[in-house]
């Protein structure tokens, strides 16, 4: 059973380190592309959007990091510890993201490293399609359009704040 919590400041540091370990093969190129140092990226991780820790039977399994950008929900990342991968937790977390955070949004957008075939297959099976390719870093931007009801709700509620609130 998965549960979700909001991590405190100390837990955010641990989750950031988890991301650096689990996503190390493409994180350096991504930071170069967006022009951020690791310390600047750490500050952004702690201050932009919302980080949600994923627990599997009370055991820390990973996290996701989202940001509302007007009517688009941007998934900065979903990171699972290696021992929790391949169990369907990523699918379950993605469905929760859409249900819990997708209300009022017209689409969900995310980036995926081309070498991460398992993640790409998951996103495609959930209806995400490639909308932009970043060939220099072997990264694709994928998007899933949400129901028309979500877009109408977003239009009536106005733009979301950049801090995810």
What pLDDT is attached to residue 29? 76
Which segments of 9-143 does DSSP mark as H helices, in order?
9-22, 24-34, 38-47, 89-96, 117-125
What pLDDT is attached to residue 148? 56
What pLDDT is attached to residue 161? 32
CATH number reported for the structural domain that contains residue 33 in this entry: 3.40.630.30
What pLDDT is attached to residue 35? 87
Q: In terms of C-beta density within 10 A (0-12 exposed, 13-18 middle, 19 or more buried), how is residue 102 classed?
A: buried
- Split into its structural domains, the chain has a count of 1
3-state DSSP assignment of residue 55? strand
Residue 49: phi and psi, rounded to 5, are 75, -150
Answer yes or no: is 165 within a domain.
Answer: no
Question: Could you say which residues of the chain have pLDDT below 70?
Answer: 148-165
What pLDDT is attached to residue 165? 37
What pLDDT is attached to residue 20? 92
What pLDDT is attached to residue 149? 58
What pLDDT is attached to residue 28? 81
In this structure, the number of other CB atoms found within 10 A of the CB of residue 51 comes to 21
Provide the domain limits for residue 41: 2-157
């Amino acid at each position: 059973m998965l549960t979700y919590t909001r991590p405190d400041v100390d837990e955010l540091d641990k989750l950031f380190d988890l991301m650096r370990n689990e996503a190390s093969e493409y994180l350096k190129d991504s930071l170069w592309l967006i022009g951020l140092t690791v310390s600047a990226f750490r500050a952004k991780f702690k201050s932009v959007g919302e980080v949600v820790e994923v627990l599997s039977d009370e055991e820390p399994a990973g996290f996701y990091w989202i940001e509302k950008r007007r009517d688009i929900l941007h998934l900065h990342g979903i990171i699972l510890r290696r021992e929790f991968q391949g169990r369907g937790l990523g699918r379950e977390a993605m469905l929760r993201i859409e249900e819990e955070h997708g209300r009022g949004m017209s689409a969900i957008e995310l980036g995926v490293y081309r070498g991460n075939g398992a993640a790409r297959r998951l996103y495609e099976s959930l209806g995400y399609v490639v909308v932009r390719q970043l060939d220099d870093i072997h990264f694709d931007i994928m998007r899933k359009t949400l129901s028309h009801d979500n877009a109408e709700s977003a239009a009536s509620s106005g733009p979301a704040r950049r801090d995810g609130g």
